[in-house]
Amino acid sequence: MATINDVAQAAGVSISTVSYALSGKRSIAASTRQRIMRAIDELEYEPNAGARMLAGARTNILALSAPLGPDGHLPTHMRFVTSVVEAARAHDYDVLLLATDDEVSGIRRAASRSLIDGVVVMGVATTDERVPLVRRLGLPSAFIGIPPGVDDMSCIDLDFDRAGREAVTMLAEAGHTSIGVIGHPHSYVDRDTNFIRRFTHGFDDECRARGVRTATQWPEIGRTGGAQAYDLLREQLPDMTALVFHCNEPIVEGALRRISQLGLSIPGDLSVLAACASYAADELETPLSAIPLPLDEMCHSAVENALALVDSLGDPQVTLIAPTFLDRGSIAAPRPAVHPA
């Protein structure tokens, strides 16, 4: 493997000149730079990662702390991971994946070994030990999710509070006054997951402001849970004319299945909105109007925020992404009277 020395010799310059040509930290004559670049191409030179790290420069590696609980939704999880890797690659960064019981200790290890320049933290819990850990390590970082009360670290997330309000607004303005919600599995809620709390807060608050009746079901995990949740919701809120999903695909699918079994049409008999959807809501049995979870935007911003801190450009900041709405025709005005099967 070619070293910087080989390149320097081939180009007839010193190694420091090569280094500066590569980093751009000092000016280099155009002709010299060209000779160097040609040598690099010919020799297929790639800087040695270890040497670069050791010399106190970058490692060009970002850790991704991605815990996956037993009730985690694999497809969503994978989408986040993929998206972070993609974003990192766009900045010539590689990603060290920390998972399964190593999402905390791995951060400590990788940082202590000076193996990483920063960390992107996924699956942030309401009380998350990674917050104080990362703070203590002084490691450039970005959190995907907002740990409550944190304002000295970069965090990015959908504005779930506003998403909740928007959901109500969309439906209320279409004329609905009784809106059911099928939320995430109750095991998520038991953990007091922060984004759920924020969504619920905005949603309930807006309902109150608009005099909308509402009820929420936190189902069992999986499709069956979704179907059951629909039935329970119908009991709880017999005059329900609109339904909001704030959960993952399987539950949505289960509920939609149940709704179609009951012979109900969307949006004729029931208006439906997929809120904070991490999945393609247009590929469901019935395509749903949605407030999408801007997963890619979240991941890309997280990577960029983390790298900005690596470069000491600016301070940590909390970013809330404004919700958007994608109309797929699953929302309409309520029928004067709906008689469920």
Q: Which residues bind DNA (CB under 7 A)?
A: 1, 3-5, 12-17, 19-20, 22-23, 25-29, 31-33, 45, 47-48, 51-52, 54-57
Residue 137 in contact with residue 107, Cβ under 8 Å? Answer: yes
31 interface partner picked from its own copies, DNA, none, CB below 5 to 8 A per type: DNA
Of residues 58 and 191, the one with the C-beta less far from DNA: 58
Residue 184 in contact with residue 198, Cβ under 8 Å? Answer: no
Token pair for 253: 């699918």
Interface residues with its own copies (CB under 8 A)? 1, 44, 46-55, 59, 61, 64, 68, 74-75, 77-79, 81-82, 85-86, 89, 94-100, 102, 106, 109-110, 112-115
Q: Where are the beta strands (DSSP E) in 138-270?
A: 141-144, 154-158, 178-182, 213-217, 242-245
Q: How far is the CB of 48 from its own copies (least distance, A)?
A: 5
Taken in order 49, 51, 54, 55, the sign of the CA dihedral is negative
Strand partners for 121:
65, 143
Q: Say how far apart CA 194 and CA 146 lie, in whole Å.
A: 7
236 interface partner picked from its own copies, DNA, none, CB below 5 to 8 A per type: none
Q: How far is the CB of 67 from its own copies (least distance, A)?
A: 11
Q: Say how far apart CA 205 and CA 33 lie, in whole Å.
A: 62
Q: How far is the CB of 69 from its own copies (least distance, A)?
A: 12
Q: Say how far apart CA 341 and CA 338 lie, in whole Å.
A: 9
68 interface partner picked from DNA, its own copies, none, CB below 5 to 8 A per type: its own copies
75 interface partner picked from DNA, its own copies, none, CB below 5 to 8 A per type: its own copies
19 interface partner picked from its own copies, DNA, none, CB below 5 to 8 A per type: DNA
